[in-house]
Amino acid sequence: MNQTNTPLTVVLLNDAALMRGGVERVLFASARGLRALGHRVIVFAGRGPVDAELANIPGIEIVCLGQANALEEGAVLSGAMRVLWNRTASQRLKAVLKGLDPARTVVHAHCYTQTLSPSVLAAATRAGYKTVLTLHDYFLVCPNGAFFEYPTEKICHRKPLSWDCVSCRCDARKHSHKLLRVARAWVKKYLAAMPARLSALIAISELSRARVRPHVPSSLPIYLVPNPVNVAAGSPAQVEANTAFLFSGRLERFKGGHIFASAAARSGVEAVFAGAGPAEADWKRLYPKSRFTGWLTSSQLDRELAQARAVVFPSLWPEGYGLAAVEALARGVPVIASRGTAAEEYISDGENGFLFDQGSVDDLQRKIDLMCVPGVAAKLGAEAYRRFWSAPPMTESHVAGLLAVYHNALVKGSA
């Protein structure tokens, strides 16, 4: 059956209906793009309130349960149980799916670990609907979602759910949280039968595909569909006249901001942190001359980028994409990024930015100093701008990639 020109129903699953970061930006963009092409789009979310940007998409259908983050609610036991299996979410999703044609419906899961739980994946697949999942993180196979030992700041290579994995104290908070996540991973794998029952996975980079591939069935396809980067075309930033080095994102230690603060202090350059998070006070102590802006709107972030000589992306974990870095390249701002992240896929060392050894203050300082050499930032920025706009990953190409995945899943199911 030829499904290519047939309007589909796409049910998008996500923990939140409110804009919280990169995942929601991808979700909202894909919902808007799919709807513009005439497909029926239903957004099924656990947490509210519903973001105005989402609500204002013409023709969108939204089901929001209005639940809280399971681990942030007052009742610890009931919250923990809901992390394992959100019965309410499962029942409501079954009601939404009832009556939809499985031959023309795809369920696309984004994030489900904080509110919706593995129950929604089980509800969709058991009801016979083709279900795909985007690998925004590694929770599908790794209990703590990052293949990263937070206390030691080392990348983890243990086999998920092995004794080595279960006994490792790798959680960012408490070991009790790790054990709860192990329980959720066990429930997902053995009760919900995930990822075995999924129709396809969507990787946002080659790195995310490579990290997950050994831990899922060989028959489960993993398609590469990079995140959309919706940046208006315009003149590149005049980076050579700028002095600021910019970090953009959540201020968490695993994001590596302390590496940047230490290197910037040694070089004496202007350092700007755009974002908020628990590590702010520590990073301020490392470099008191740094400027912290808090969370910025898109237009405010654009202004910071226009005043930046380079963006620093010092992440310590195997980050699967790095939207802040890609958006900088789109504006002609070179990036200094740590190796071991997906940034290596779009930054060529010495051509449109610099790469430095992950976690190395010394190497990052050297690259900051190089960026301060007259003419270097201008050359790298011009090449960054040229490469991005030669094949920009906009919403249209992202949605085309999604539809190819959806149609492949449906055709395979009907064969």
H/E stretch holding 248: strand 244-248
Residue 347 has pLDDT above 60, yes or no: yes
**Residues 319 and 402 grouped into a single domain:** no
The 105-109 sheet, strands edge to edge: 61-64, 40-47, 9-16, 105-109, 130-134, 200-203, 222-224
Computed over its alpha carbons, how large is the radius of gyration of the chain? 22
Residue 8, CA distances (Å) to 5, 253, 359 in order: 9, 42, 45
- Residue 133: per-residue pLDDT: 98
Please indicate, yes or no, if residue 4 is contained in any of the structural domains: no
- Residue 1: per-residue pLDDT: 39
Rounded Cα distance, 154 and 143, in Å: 16
Please indicate, yes or no, if residue 142 is contained in any of the structural domains: yes
User: What would the mean pLDDT of 271-283 be, rounded to a whole number?
Assistant: 95
Rounded Cα distance, 382 and 70, in Å: 46
Residue 3 has pLDDT above 90, yes or no: no
pLDDT tens, 36-50? 999 999 999 999 999
User: What would the mean pLDDT of 117-124 be, rounded to a whole number?
Assistant: 97
Please indicate, yes or no, if residue 61 is contained in any of the structural domains: yes
Q: Are 46 and 86 in contact (CB under 8 A)?
A: yes
**Residues 330 and 212 grouped into a single domain:** no
Rounded Cα distance, 286 and 265, in Å: 8
**Residues 139 and 251 grouped into a single domain:** no
User: What would the mean pLDDT of 326-353 be, rounded to a whole number?
Assistant: 95
The three-state secondary structure class of 342 is: helix
Please indicate, yes or no, if residue 3 is contained in any of the structural domains: no
**Mean pLDDT of the residues in the chain:** 93
**Residues 176 and 275 grouped into a single domain:** no
**Residues 386 and 404 grouped into a single domain:** no
Q: Indicate which CATH number applies to the domain containing 189.
A: 3.40.50.2000
Q: Determine which of 117-126, 174-183, 406-415 has the lowest per-residue pLDDT on average.
A: 406-415
**Residues 207 and 334 grouped into a single domain:** no
Rounded Cα distance, 395 and 408, in Å: 20
Phi then psi for residue 133, to 5 deg, are -140, 135
What's the pLDDT band for 247 if we cut at 50, 70, 90?
very high
Structural domain harbouring 303: 239-390
Residue that is written with structure tokens 């196979």 in the block: 141
**Residues 110 and 156 grouped into a single domain:** yes
**Residues 164 and 77 grouped into a single domain:** yes
> pTM of the full predicted structure?
0.90
**Residues 44 and 176 grouped into a single domain:** yes
**Residues 205 and 272 grouped into a single domain:** no
Rounded Cα distance, 131 and 12, in Å: 10
What's the pLDDT band for 414 if we cut at 50, 70, 90?
very low
pLDDT tens, 150-201? 999 999 999 999 999 999 999 988 888 899 999 999 999 999 999 999 999 9
Helices (H), 217-297: 257-267, 280-286
Both structure tokens of 180: 């709860």
Please indicate, yes or no, if residue 254 is contained in any of the structural domains: yes
Please indicate, yes or no, if residue 139 is contained in any of the structural domains: yes
Rounded Cα distance, 395 and 398, in Å: 5
**Residues 87 and 208 grouped into a single domain:** yes
User: What would the mean pLDDT of 131-143 be, rounded to a whole number?
Assistant: 96
Please indicate, yes or no, if residue 40 is contained in any of the structural domains: yes
Please indicate, yes or no, if residue 342 is contained in any of the structural domains: yes
Residue 20 has pLDDT above 90, yes or no: no
**Residues 138 and 211 grouped into a single domain:** yes
Q: How many domains does the chain have?
A: 2
Residues 6+ apart with CB under 8 A from 61: 40, 41, 42, 43
Residue 74 has pLDDT above 70, yes or no: no
Rounded Cα distance, 337 and 317, in Å: 12
Residue 4 has pLDDT above 70, yes or no: no
pLDDT tens, 282-327? 999 999 999 999 988 778 989 999 999 999 999 999 999 988 899 9
